[in-house]
Amino acid sequence: MLVGINSNSGYNNYNLPSTSTMKKTSGLVEAMSKHLDAKQKTNTNTNTYNLSLYKQLTSPTITKKLVKKNQLLAKLFPSKNKKN
């Protein structure tokens, strides 16, 4: 004998949540979906920002400055493994 959802015994064979729980859950899912959509847009903006930052940092002027800075640091703090 199959026990249906609306059986007289009061036993819920499918263990379905109550209607109020389902409404709360659907609201939560909708809120999470909106949050993830917003986060995806933010990630796109962040990726664009990172790309522009990368281009700035790899520009010839910045690269020359970094090379000079690294050479100065190498003179100030010589490596123990390096032979002079």
The pLDDT tens digits for 21-30 are: 666 666 677 7
Number of structural domains (the chain) is 1
Tell me the one-letter amino acid at 56.
Answer: Q
The structure tokens listed for 82 are 């390096």
Q: Rounded distance, CA 17 to CA 12, Å?
A: 10
pLDDT classification of 1: cutoffs 50, 70, 90: very low
Residue 75 pLDDT: 84
CA gap 26, 20 in Å, rounded? 10
Domain-located, residue 2: no
Q: Is residue 57 part of a domain?
A: yes
The residue range of the domain holding 64 is 19-76
Whether the Cβ atoms of residue 16 and residue 25 lie closer than 8 Å to each other: no
* Angle at 34 (CA atoms; ends 17, 30), nearest 5 degrees: 15
Q: Is residue 56 part of a domain?
A: yes
Note whether residue 3 is domain-resident. no
Tell whether 83 is covered by a domain: no
The answer to whether the pTM exceeds 0.85 is no
pLDDT tens-place string over residues 39-56:
666 666 666 777 777 777
Mean pLDDT score of the chain, rounded to an integer?
Answer: 67
